[in-house]
Amino acid sequence: MLAVASLLALAIVVEVAATAALPQTRGFHDVGWTTFVLGGYALSIWLLAEVVKTLPVFVTYAVWSGAGTALVAVVGVLVLGEQMDLLKAAGITAIVLGVVLLNLTP
């Protein structure tokens, strides 16, 4: 199970890195960054496909999308200079709580 969790964590990190690099593509006009972004998304989806061989799709996708959304928000604030306010923080908290609740159900 640890290997599956590691694959899911890697899928999240790769997807977050690709998403954070999107502004660098300049609307997909920069070939190098575009290749990085598309390759990152492809790798992330492939890793998800491996994870769903073991974990249910709803758990996998909930964790991937929820954690990815929260991490992209953090990267946006810390690396890309985006602004965080109370409403945005509350929204991210709601996403994380939703993922936790989905994983607590039998």
Q: pLDDT, tens digit, for every residue of 81-95?
A: 999 999 989 988 998
- Asked whether the predicted pLDDT for residue 54 surpasses 70, the reply is yes
pLDDT of residue 18: 97
Note the pTM of the prediction, 2 decimals.
0.86
Provide the 10 A C-beta neighbour count for residue 69. 18
* Phi and psi based region of residue 81 (left: phi greater than 0; alpha: psi -120 to 50; beta: remaining): left
Note the helical H segments in 1-106: 2-21, 31-51, 57-78, 86-104
- Asked whether the predicted pLDDT for residue 59 surpasses 90, the reply is no
Residue 60 carries which side chain, given as an amino acid letter? T
- Per domain, the residue ranges of the chain are 2-104
Over residues 56-77, the mean pLDDT reads 90
- Asked whether the predicted pLDDT for residue 23 surpasses 90, the reply is yes
How far apart CA 59 and CA 100 sit, in angstroms, is 10
- Asked whether the predicted pLDDT for residue 12 surpasses 90, the reply is yes
